[in-house]
Amino acid sequence: MSQEAKKQKTMPTITEGVDFDTIAREWRCKWSPEDDKKSLQELRKALVEAVPDIKKLDGAKVQRVVCGGCMDFKVIISLPAEKFGEWEKEKFAPEESFLEKIKKIDGVSVVETQTFTLMPVDI
């Protein structure tokens, strides 16, 4: 069996040609530039506090995305596809406590989550 055939057999597939090996959960919100970007500073602090719990997830990778133009703050936690279900059963902890904390920050709005798949592309 070829390497490509083995890869396709072991990876989840959304549809033909759309395989993935990683599933990510995104926590996102908008922040306000007022008060010297105080809400962004508070978001960063909340993330720093949550990282030890996130890092307990087997295989987790954490990324932070900030856009100064559209005032986006995003936390992306990705796991190997085969480990994501375990985290999902735990309701993505510490998601609930993190989201509750950031909802209380003045200047933070549009708090949302999203789950999506990731896959490297060789071109």
Residue 44 belongs to a domain with what CATH number? 3.30.70.600
d(CA 112, CA 110): 6
Asked whether residue 1 is assigned to any structural domain, the reply reads no
Asked whether residue 48 is assigned to any structural domain, the reply reads yes
- Return the pLDDT at 114: 98
- Return the pLDDT at 10: 72
Asked whether residue 78 is assigned to any structural domain, the reply reads yes
pTM: 0.87
Asked whether residue 15 is assigned to any structural domain, the reply reads no
Which of 78, 68, 65, 4 lies closest to 37 in space, CA to CA?
Answer: 68
Asked whether residue 2 is assigned to any structural domain, the reply reads no
- 46 phi, psi to nearest 5 deg: -60, -40
Give me the tens of pLDDT residue by residue for the chain, a chain 123 residues long: 445 544 545 788 888 888 999 999 999 999 999 999 999 999 999 999 999 999 999 999 999 999 999 999 999 999 999 999 999 999 999 999 999 999 999 999 999 999 999 999 887
Asked whether residue 85 is assigned to any structural domain, the reply reads yes
Residues spanned by the domain of 28 = 20-118
Asked whether residue 14 is assigned to any structural domain, the reply reads no
